[in-house]
A = this chain, B = another copy of it.
Amino acid sequence: MNDRALRDLVIGLGGTAGGVPRESRFDITAASEVMAVFCLASSLPDLRERLARIVVGRTREDELVTAGKLGAADAMTALLKDAIHPNLVQTLEGGPAIVHGGPFANIAHGCSSILGTRTALHLADDVITEAGFGFDLGAEKFLDIKCRAAGLWPHAAVVVATLRALKMHGGAPVAQAGGPDEKALAAGLPQLDKHLETARAFGLTPVVAINVFGNDPEAELALVEKHLADQGVRCGRSTAFAHGGEGALELAKIVAGVVDAAPENPEPRFLYPLDAPYRDKLRAIARTVYGADDVILAPAAQQAIDRIVKGGHAHLPVCVAKTHLSLSDDPKLLGRPTGFTVTVREVRLSAGAGFVVALTGEILTMPGLPKEPAALRVRIGDDGKVRGLMQNE
């Protein structure tokens, strides 16, 4: 259960029998280091080693205390030994899919498990995997973190676009972004362009998937297609949500073409080398992917980096926690903002996951419930039928 009251707490109260008083926090499962460890582990022994490396505190002499030093690594691994086997599920049409691991891409690294991906690669000719949110979040982390850890690199990248999101980034109010508004659409296209530009910075040839809604005006769809064609970017319409696999056939053919044209063993092109200073890694991401002028490290963030480096973890990739509502760290900056800086207010070591988490803006690793929590809409009948889980039910 995510509860904002668990973001910041003092535990160990009630006298010595209650343990040592200390400040603590809960993270939502999707932001937990154990989730990241689980997704990035390449085998059971690697899982155990990663769990052992998780840092849970520091001694008075400032030495790292790890789960391994506490003797907890084997017990933790035992708890996860079955969970680490990839889950094979099927779509409504019977197509196979592996659903395994769930870190969110705004507050964590946003990719399904390496073991899941590898299993799929053993079983299929082509594997499609999702990286959450935009190219600035899931994709950047997929490439710089997961692919680097797994020794893999994709043959193609598909960027999903909807008229509604583009119009929202073009200035249309959220409630009206679903309606026709060619002007807002045109104004929103640079946001898509930025994602494509980022894909190219990684050496990838992006394909745009236009996720078509039933009432999308043909003129607006054509406008997007023309805009992309003018830049030489391939795109395809997908009506998979409405029509299932059939609806994605056109897109699939285009993507297959790109994949076939790609070199068999594509060369990874990371945004930053692992031995660069953390400030430079953050700058590389912020400037190349977000379009920022620079990164500002709050004093606490800089101190955390210094301690991390001093503790022997200088060469990890960076997992940026950032709002998914903007390319910047300010959820109100829509479209393709420029002339902004990104503020890193806190940096945390995830030694087990093998990265450093940089928290920007006001992003939190324990979401709060909205004013009207979804639970209020859930209804269960005496027959056990549950209603209200989906928005329009």
Contacts and interface: CB of A to CB of B under 8 A. Distances in A.
B71 A375 contact: yes
A20 B72 CA distance: 26
Given A11-B9, A19-B3, A22-B21, A299 B362 contact: yes
A4 B22 contact: no
B7 A10 contact: no
Contact of A384 (B44, B345, B382): B44
Given A74-B379, A345-B299, A361-B299, A19 B5 contact: yes
A5 B11 contact: yes
B19 A380 contact: no
A361 to B, nearest CB: 7
Interface stretch (A75-83, A100-108, A180-188, A272-280): A75-83
A343 B300 CA distance: 12
**A interface, by DSSP: helix, strand, loop or mixed?**
mixed
Contact of A17 (B18, B23, B296, B368): B368
Contacts of A376: 71, 75
A316 to B, nearest CB: 23
A18 B7 contact: yes
Contacts of A63: none
Contacts of A368: 17, 19
Contacts of A11: 5-6, 9
Contacts of A77: 380
A48 B380 contact: yes
A13 interface: yes
Given A77-B380, A78-B378, A384-B81, A10 B21 contact: yes
A390 interface: no
What is the copy number of this chain in the assembly? 4
Contact of A378 (B4, B6, B15, B74): B74
A13 B23 contact: yes
A242 interface: no
A386 to B, nearest CB: 5
A343 B17 contact: no
A80 B100 CA distance: 24
Contacts of A4: 12, 17-19
A12 B13 CA distance: 13
A371 B14 CA distance: 19
Contacts of A380: 44, 48, 74, 77-78, 81
A45 interface: yes
Interface in A186-241: none
Given A5-B18, A9-B10, A81-B380, 18 more contacts: A3-B19, A8-B18, A9-B9, A10-B10, A10-B21, A17-B368, A21-B22, A21-B23, A44-B382, A48-B380, A74-B375, A74-B380, A75-B375, A77-B380, A78-B378, A78-B389, A81-B384, A299-B345
14 contacts: A4-B12, A5-B12, A7-B13, A9-B11, A17-B364, A19-B368, A44-B380, A44-B382, A74-B379, A74-B388, A81-B386, A298-B345, A299-B343, A299-B362
